[in-house]
A and B are shown apart, each in its own frame.
Chain A
Amino acid sequence: MKEYVRQLMRRGAITCSETTSIRDIAQIMVVNQVRYCVVINNEHEVIGIVSADSLICTFGLDLDETKAQDIIVKDKRRVFTTTGKTPLTEAIDIMKRLKIGHLVVLADHPASRAVLGILFSSDIVAEMARRQEEGEKS
């Protein structure tokens, strides 16, 4: 049974900068078939995350002029992030409380803001299905 975030997370992340236009972010999402984009600064530190759900608020605006910094969910208090050593149940609690479908996984060092990977709710559900089937077989 998988118990820690690092066992279920996907390594690596799709990133963009604060000045990327919304049109470009939408294209990044469609071409890479993802529903999120992690926003990083020049030092490759995580500033926040843009999801497909927050992107739809800009429908109708000038998408080439609107930038990521206008809609970004800023993460100053490290609420949208977790580390690889966090127990999975704790991470699920955070996702449930904040009503989000993915958590950014940072490196374990407390001062580090570098992105290590992403924990998806889809992987959690896939793991649930897999575990039930294994239980049936045994």
Chain B
Amino acid sequence: VKVCDLMHKGVISCYAEDTVKDVARMMDQHHFRSIVVVNERGEVWGIISFREMMPHYSKNLSQLTAGEIMRPYKIEVDPQWSIENAIDVMRRLRYYHLIVVDPHVGTKWPVGILSSSDVVKCMSNLTSGRYEQMLKIRRETTEP
């Protein structure tokens, strides 16, 4: 199994100058757990997840910028990596969202995100068809 088989294709990104208020709104609206911070050339600069957001609970979010609270991100994950390799990086560095970058262009353009829940989905052995079936069964049993 390769990283490109399990990852989420596409990322939600923001610039380092954007306010944290906009980032919070994006997370709330899109139900995304992590937002990729990119520079003006579209390269990966850092990542903002709930963990970075929470300490600023009682602050005025429109006065903070994404660049101030983001966690710098320097790992380059190739889509062709084996999943074991990616899990090893996750465990060692305690990064549970890996940004996958395009290996074919010189710049670090983000192409997707591999999170721990994508790996869990693979471990559950539920293929998409069966997963849909289970949801259907669940809906039928819970609704009167």
Residues of A whose CB lies within 8 Å of any CB of B are 22-23, 26-27, 29-31, 35, 52-53, 55-60, 63, 88-89, 92, 95-96, 99, 101, 121-122, 124-126, 128-130, 132-133
Contact = CB atoms under 8 A, between A and B. Distances in A.
Contacts, number: 112
User: Chain A at the B interface: mostly helix, strand, loop or mixed?
Assistant: helix
B120 A29 contact: yes
Ranked nearest first, the 5 interchain pairs of A and B with the lowest CB-CB distance are A121-B50, A26-B124, A129-B24, A129-B28, A26-B123
User: Chain B at the A interface: mostly helix, strand, loop or mixed?
Assistant: helix
A88 B94 CA distance: 25
6 contacts: A30-B120, A55-B120, A88-B57, A128-B56, A129-B25, A132-B24
Interface residues of B, number: 38
A104 B51 CA distance: 17
A97 to B, nearest CB: 10
Contact of B28 (A30, A59, A101, A130): A130
- Indicate the member of B87, B116, B123 with the most A CB atoms within 10 Å: B123
B57 A124 contact: yes
A76 B47 CA distance: 33
